[in-house]
Amino acid sequence: MAKIKLPAPPSNPLVSPKRPGKKYGPSGPLEHAEEGAVSAVGWIDERTSLSGGLRWMMFRKVPKGTNWFYTLGSSTMFAFLSQAVTGVFLAMYYDPSATRAYQSIQFINNEVFLGEFVHAMHRWGSSVMVILIFLHMGRTFFFGAYKYPRELNWVIGVALLVMTMTMSFSGYLLPFDQRSYWATIVGVNINGTGPLVGPYLSEFLRAGPYFGATTLSRFYAIHMLLVPGAIAALMGFHLYLVAKLGTTAPPWIRAKAPEALREEKIPGDS
- Distance (Å, whole) CA 78 – CA 73: 9
CB of 40 to another protein, least distance (A): 38
Residue 117 binds another protein (CB under 8 A): no
- Distance (Å, whole) CA 79 – CA 62: 23
Residue 214 binds another protein (CB under 8 A): yes
Closest to another protein by CB, 2 vs 186, is 186
- Distance (Å, whole) CA 76 – CA 166: 16
Binder among 85, 198, 239, 247 for another protein (CB under 8 A): 198
Closest to another protein by CB, 208 vs 236, is 208
- Distance (Å, whole) CA 62 – CA 31: 35
Binder among 10, 52, 208, 236 for another protein (CB under 8 A): 208
CB of 94 to another protein, least distance (A): 16
Closest to another protein by CB, 117 vs 182, is 182
CB of 176 to another protein, least distance (A): 8
Closest to another protein by CB, 196 vs 266, is 196
CB of 171 to another protein, least distance (A): 18
DSSP states of 86-117: HHHHHHTT----TTTHHHHHHHHHHTSTTHHH
Residue 199 binds another protein (CB under 8 A): yes
Binder among 63, 204, 232, 251 for another protein (CB under 8 A): 204
Of residues 44 through 103, those in contact with another protein by CB under 8 A are 98-99
Strand intervals (E) in the chain = none
Residue 234 binds another protein (CB under 8 A): no
Residue 124 binds another protein (CB under 8 A): no
| Helix pair angle (227-245, 50-58), 10° resolution | 80
- Distance (Å, whole) CA 237 – CA 235: 5
Helices (H), the chain: 28-48, 50-58, 72-91, 101-110, 115-142, 151-173, 178-192, 198-206, 215-221, 227-245, 259-263
Does residue 204 contact residue 215 with C-beta atoms inside 8 Å?
A: no
Binding track over 96-115 against another protein, x by CB under 8 A:
--xx----------------
- Distance (Å, whole) CA 125 – CA 95: 21
Binding region for another protein (CB under 8 A) out of 31-39, 82-90, 106-114, 204-212: 204-212
Nearest CA to 73 among 171, 151, 154?
Answer: 154
Tell me the site size for another protein, rule CB under 8 A: 29
| Helix pair angle (28-48, 50-58), 10° resolution | 100
Binder among 70, 80, 169, 181 for another protein (CB under 8 A): 181
- Distance (Å, whole) CA 68 – CA 163: 26
| Binding-site ranges for another protein (CB under 8 A) | 98-99, 176, 181-182, 185-186, 188-190, 192-193, 195-196, 198-200, 202-204, 206-214
